[in-house]
Amino acid sequence: MFGFIKNSLDKTVSAIKSVAPQKKVTFTKEELEDILLEADVEYALVELIINELYQSKITREMLRSKLLATLATTYKEPEFTPPFVELIVGVNGAGKTTTISKLAYRYKQEGKRVILGAGDTFRAAAIEQLTLWSKKLDIPIIASKQGHDSSAVAYDTINSAKSKGFDNVIIDTAGRLHTHKNLANELIKINRICNKSHEGSPHRTLLIIDGTQGNTAIAQAKAFNEMIGVDGIIITKLDGTAKGGSLFSIAYALKLPILYIGTGEQPEDLIVFDKFEFVDGLLDALFIDTEEE
């Protein structure tokens, strides 16, 4: 019934089974509290969910409705004049560069013409890695040298896209939160220059979050959202963590939609996030299917 999302929850399901080894028809509040905490749902959100469950015995549907409510924020497609410009933000090591390649591959498979902007000029390795991906995927890239003005890269990428009729522009950015003020100023400048080059852009700013960070990623996400404003989230490395429950906390705390999930290292390993499949994948590990009894 379930595909890639369920498979990516294997480690989270194993963690859940360490505190709930047997499937049941109902659970007590105390049992559910232990289960949700083990899956790395933030304590404050666990308490909120538990307190809103008024019955002593909690069924699958009761818990399902509460979990889905934490993922209730929806994404609204912006109106735009092509090309569609996306800014990709996130801390170093979250998987930004790889995720950009996956997005580019996805758009190319849809028949769109894509161009990349290597806007993380703080790290030479980021420029090199994105350039390698561009060659592998046969997608053009605008890049400069380490230390160059990242907003100039964004400007040149958008202008190139406009003059050559590209459909999608994906621009990488630096992610050095330890120099918070410098990064904020840089991102604000990139935003301003994007709009100068193509009015209304960037049309979408996506935040890349490392799924293995669990709830510690919330502070990072809030910082980026405050700096530049984020439209949606992509979770990477979900298949390598037992902290899948943190997605509820992240989405609820930020009131932002999770758009994609990274499920591996290959260009095709990026899937649209389906909150129903995600929630049901977790609940399948807990509850007995009464229709099969």
Confidence of residue 1 (pLDDT cuts 50, 70, 90): very low
Whether pLDDT at 240 is above 80: no
As a whole number, mean pLDDT of residues 268-282 equals 92
- Residue 75 CB burial class (10 angstroms; 0-12, 13-18, ≥19): middle
Tell the CATH topology of 4-73+279-292.
Four Helix Bundle (Hemerythrin (Met), subunit A) (1.20.120)
As a whole number, mean pLDDT of residues 6-30 equals 87
Share of the chain above pLDDT 90, in %: 64
| Residue 213 token pair | 């960070």
> pLDDT tens-digit profile of 46-74?
999 999 998 889 999 999 999 999 999 99
> pLDDT tens-digit profile of 107-162?
999 999 999 999 999 888 999 999 999 999 999 999 998 888 999 999 999 999 99
As a whole number, mean pLDDT of residues 8-17 equals 84
DSSP 8-state assignment for residue 287? B
> What pTM value is reported for the model?
0.92
Least-confidence region, from 179-183, 255-259, 265-269? 179-183
Q: What is the pLDDT of residue 3?
A: 65
Q: What is the 3-state secondary structure (H, E, C) of 177-223?
A: HHHHHHHHHHHHHHHHHHHHHCCCCCCEEEEEEEHHHHHHHHHHHHH
Q: What is the pLDDT of residue 10?
A: 84
How far apart (Å, rounded) are the C-alpha atoms in residues 255 and 258? 10
- 3-class SS of residue 156: helix
| Residue 125 token pair | 């390795």
Average predicted confidence (pLDDT) for the chain? 91
Superfamily of domain 84-273: P-loop containing nucleotide triphosphate hydrolases (3.40.50.300)
As a whole number, mean pLDDT of residues 171-179 equals 83
Q: What is the pLDDT of residue 177?
A: 72
Q: Which residues pair with 83 in a beta bridge?
A: none
Q: For residue 253, how many other CB atoms are within 10 A of its CB?
A: 20
How far apart (Å, rounded) are the C-alpha atoms in residues 228 and 206? 11
Query: What angle, 0 to 180 degrees and rounded to 10, lies between the N-to-C axes of helices 180-197 and 217-228?
Result: 50
Which of 123-152 are b and which e, b meaning 16 or more Cβ less than 10 Å from the residue's Cβ? beebbebbeebbeebebbbbbbeeeeebbb
Do the Cβ atoms of 95 and 148 come closer than 8 Å?
no
Q: What is the pLDDT of residue 2?
A: 45
Least-confidence region, from 4-8, 54-58, 226-230? 4-8
- Residue 6 CB burial class (10 angstroms; 0-12, 13-18, ≥19): middle
Numbered ranges of CATH 1.20.120.140 in the chain: 4-73+279-292
